[in-house]
Structure 1
């Protein structure tokens, strides 16, 4: 039913070779404006040092038993694919990149204006860009996006975010790649996202509702998964106020696995290995916010909580491979 392949920074890979996968990370997020105009803020120790540090940390991730990460840095989140290519040349890890736009409402003025021009001519600029990233590749890098990222926040589906979610749905239907979201589980935002996707004809088994692990409301989480969608407990180690603790996240996953939902759960950290969004003082407040935390600390704790090896393999290997395999055009036309 699927191609069995996914686009990565280093080209097409069989999903059988993805191994243990983290589904929501950020390797390199640097704004072009700061990199060009205030490089001391974008790269406090210099760009070469930032590249070296990212490579070193990704090697630690590989050594900890992770084979693939999904980098969901997109437009509006300061995606930098050339730097990611440079990094991936030095570390033996599969990196799947995303297209989409990171905003809880309106995108950048550039995107908004271009969308207005396209709509006046009967087109959709957002869809065109997302599809081009997937089909044609990103810039001159030769790297193709393998997943689409979209966002809603505490205010839910706003006028601006609705257009981007619809564009994500259309692009997903046209290309067969999955959708992953940023959502607010405290306002049950995943259900609103799924309602829109369903109305747009998206196969909900190809949707990941991000940041679901921030809540312990298992009734909400089961309602999301009962649609066929997957939840992501993807902020392990990032201890935000009001969000579930590591212990609570583990307990929720163990509970859901015990109820038969292991095939609709993925995990990650939402870690940012190098970014000009944050400074060193902020990062120091979150010592566990690193993409080695799950393989070294969380997986053993999940075992102690009663999660079986079969369910751990499902969460870390089988479900990510299923989600990332692009659905063939032939299958899309039959369904």
Structure 2
């Protein structure tokens, strides 16, 4: 598709680290080995305090692991080679629980670090950090760097993506603290940042402004959930500033039907933005937020296989080329996941 109407990205960019590799649950891999990649998914989303005191009736650990293995193995048969798990602190991240899943599946699984809060952090962070009651360095920075450079919770699994969140409350004091810590970690390690955004509020622009001020090149930032809007002007501004947009909620038809999500991607392809979009679902094998029984009734296509089985055929039928699909599902994810340092 033509790129004649596209505005070229501006601003700073980052350079790939020499000999850079991408960290997965099974160790480092070269970027060209990633193949077709789903860049924004979850295996298990939980609430540990609730789970400890009021277990969800649909959660059974052994069964959940087996179902995750089945779902991820099915992806290999459909041509998918890599899945980024964006379950971070605040969403019940339990990397140790995922290790046996990763060992049994024929796809690369990538862990993430960050903190999922759209407003306030837990009380611990109100006393720990520079100028606070207990003092010391900001634990968020220490946690993020340790997850990326050393491994998560003694598993040896190193994070390959950072995650931050802004929503209706905007960039609150605590959200700004998380974003600042993520910016520090991104610049020190070269790992990219994915955001949770609310496109109806156009707050991807606020995320870009904040991260740019912190020194993060916007070509190392994915503005997540951008596919929840059909506002092409807003999406083009995000991409023209250098960011990739996450068209990453296919199957969430209770938010926006897939045919309209596909139409937005096709419109942006016609404008020349194939190299600034990535595709995913934001799905989960189990999520306490929207448990399996609810998903089966209200969002039956909200699962990992939706893109290869339904979305890609719709894109091709609508005029996208095989090269467009390859760019969005292989080339762009590999570029993003390969650690880069600020030039």
Deviation string for 1:94-121 (max 9, x for gaps)? 0111100111111222233334666974
Q: Which runs of 5+ in 2 are unaligned?
A: 1-15
Distance 1:45 1:234 in 2: 25
> Where does residue 5 of structure 1 map in the other structure?
21
Per the TM alignment, residue 91 of structure 1 is displaced from its structure 2 partner at its CA by 0.6
> Where does residue 214 of structure 2 map in the other structure?
200
Per the TM alignment, residue 128 of structure 1 is displaced from its structure 2 partner at its CA by 1.0
Aligned CA distance change for structure 1 residues 150 and 119 (closer, same or farther; 3 Å): farther
Deviation string for 1:229-255 (max 9, x for gaps)? 000010000123xx4321111111111
Higher helix share: 1
Deviation string for 1:171-216 (max 9, x for gaps)? 1111110000000011111010000011011011010000000000
- Give the TM-score normalised by the residue count of structure 2: 0.91
SS at match of 1:238: coil
Distance 1:322 1:280 in 2: 33
> Where does residue 28 of structure 1 map in the other structure?
44
Alignment map for 1:217-296 (pairs within 5 Å): 217-240=231-254, 243-284=255-296, 285-296=298-309
Aligned CA distance change for structure 1 residues 55 and 92 (closer, same or farther; 3 Å): same
Higher mean Cα deviation, 206-215 or 26-35? 26-35
Could you tell me whether the CA contact under 8 Å between 1:68 and 1:93 is conserved in 2? yes
Matched pairs, number: 326
Distance 1:211 1:272 in 2: 15
Aligned CA distance change for structure 1 residues 169 and 179 (closer, same or farther; 3 Å): same
Distance 2:199 2:326 in 1: 25
> Where does residue 300 of structure 1 map in the other structure?
313
Distance 1:171 1:186 in 2: 29
Higher mean Cα deviation, 301-310 or 216-225? 301-310
Per the TM alignment, residue 122 of structure 1 is displaced from its structure 2 partner at its CA by 6.1
> Where does residue 168 of structure 1 map in the other structure?
182
Flag the structure with more relative contact order, 1 or 2, with Cα contacts below 8 A and sequence separation at least 6: 2
Could you tell me whether the CA contact under 8 Å between 1:118 and 1:125 is conserved in 2? no
Distance 1:209 1:45 in 2: 31
Higher mean Cα deviation, 305-314 or 218-227? 305-314
Per the TM alignment, residue 70 of structure 1 is displaced from its structure 2 partner at its CA by 0.6
User: Is it true that 1:186 corresponds to 2:200 in the alignment?
Assistant: yes
Pick one of 70, 80, 102 that aligns with 1:66: 80
Q: Which runs of 5+ in 1 are unaligned?
A: none
Distance 1:260 1:77 in 2: 35
Higher mean Cα deviation, 118-127 or 255-264? 118-127
Per the TM alignment, residue 29 of structure 1 is displaced from its structure 2 partner at its CA by 2.1
Could you tell me whether the CA contact under 8 Å between 2:128 and 2:135 is conserved in 1? no
Distance 1:153 1:75 in 2: 17
RMSD: 1.7
Per the TM alignment, residue 30 of structure 1 is displaced from its structure 2 partner at its CA by 2.7
Distance 1:182 1:250 in 2: 20
SS at match of 2:233: helix
Alignment map for 1:209-224 (pairs within 5 Å): 209-224=223-238
